Structure 1
């Protein structure tokens, strides 16, 4: 069986060595990934990369995940999220990172830049105002809503945070962060069964979240359910 060109391109990315200077390494990697992205854009559609996610070859799957993290849109999230269940733990970690990258990218560079600028603000109230304005302009930008849920959580406004988490999940059912965040809100409200249910749903999306697993175990013990179920 021939090796996909995507895997060949991926294998050309530099590998870290103990002797590498961290700053030089970062510069080299940025350049290498810029070249990798250019080659991917030239040779592959998003749909083709999605098909390569199910390759029997681990390196090909890794390459497809990495490539989608660079160029993928929200259209690939469902297929990409399936790799959170991959047998290769490296792919699971890469998939989590790729999903966050895509979610923050939104539907346009303008949305992404605006969100990035808002999150750099130091005053939580200014962040909240900026997110309100962004969500009003881009109501389908799920990550902007998720970031607002996080701000509400920090302000201890758990009801509004839960509402935003629900809205995120309506737009993006694979958002394990919003699902786990909802569980955290219910914990703060001492709604133990609601918290347990939210965490269990989060774990269905992303089975590798150890903190969520521990929360589930503790909640089952507190409620009186078998923690091993």
Structure 2
């Protein structure tokens, strides 16, 4: 049986706005990536004052899910963290990652909540998601490095701190952490 042309036309007409929306989402994602590429390039040679501005811009971009509902869940999770309520934060952020599994900042913020709750295993699992979605996430790298230090794995922590500083040369506290771990390592070798 041959499909009717009018039926095909209606299907195409119904799908056209969806396809246009998809291409505009792709264009938005490409623009965001290009914008972040520019910010990261500037970060490499930035002065300390410029570094703070650029880092805030990067975090703002990372915090945009593209959905007002998901942004609200992120905000509520962060507010709960700020209030020291890691259990409530985990609830909000679990809802966020369940509904937006490709949103790296949802995973990162939940990793922070797990860390604050002393749950290193789930935190590390979430950091793996973050870095798979956003390999330049210097915050996730330094958080993971801190957990490795806390669990007496300084060599692995040093690798992550170095990776983070390669992306963000003026990242607060990371040069000191590298110096501390290198000095500790040199002291053990003697």
TM class, shorter-length: 0.7 to 0.9
Match of 1:95 in 2: 54
Q: Is the 8 A contact 1:46 1:76 kept in 2?
A: no
* Residue-pair matches, total: 158
Aligned twin of 1:69: none
Q: 1:165, 1:95 → 2: CA distance? A: 23
User: Which shifted more, 166-175 or 112-121?
Assistant: 112-121
**Hey, what does 2:175 align to over in structure 1?**
213
TM-score (normalised: structure 2): 0.75
Unaligned segments of structure 1, at least 5 residues: 1-44, 51-71
Aligned residue in 1 for 2:22: none
Residue matched to 2:165 = 203
Structure 2, unmatched stretches of 5+, are 1-26
Give the match for residue 84 of structure 1: 43
Please state whether the residue corresponding to 1:182 is helix, strand or coil.
helix
Check 1:74–1:116 CA distance in 2 against 1; reply closer, same or farther (3 A cut): farther
Structure 2 residue 135 is matched with structure 1 residue 135? no
Specify whether residues 87 and 146 from structure 1 end up closer, same or farther in structure 2 by C-alpha distance, changes over 3 A only: closer
Larger RCO: Structure 1 or Structure 2 (Cα < 8 Å, ≥ 6 residues apart)?
Answer: 2
Task: Quote how far apart the aligned CAs of 1:75 are.
Answer: 5.1
Larger C-alpha radius of gyration, 1 or 2? 2
Please tell me whether the aligned partners of residues 192 and 219 of structure 1 are also in contact (alpha carbons under 8 angstroms): yes
CA deviations on 1:48-75 (whole Å, 9 max, x unpaired) are: xx9xxxxxxxxxxxxxxxxxxxxx7355
Over the residues paired in the alignment, what is the CA RMSD in angstroms?
2.4
Determine helix, strand or coil for the equivalent of 1:139. Answer: coil
More helix by share: 2
**TM-score scaled by structure 1?**
0.63
Contact 2:87 2:117 survives alignment (8 Å):
no
Q: Partner of 1:105: helix, strand, or coil?
A: coil
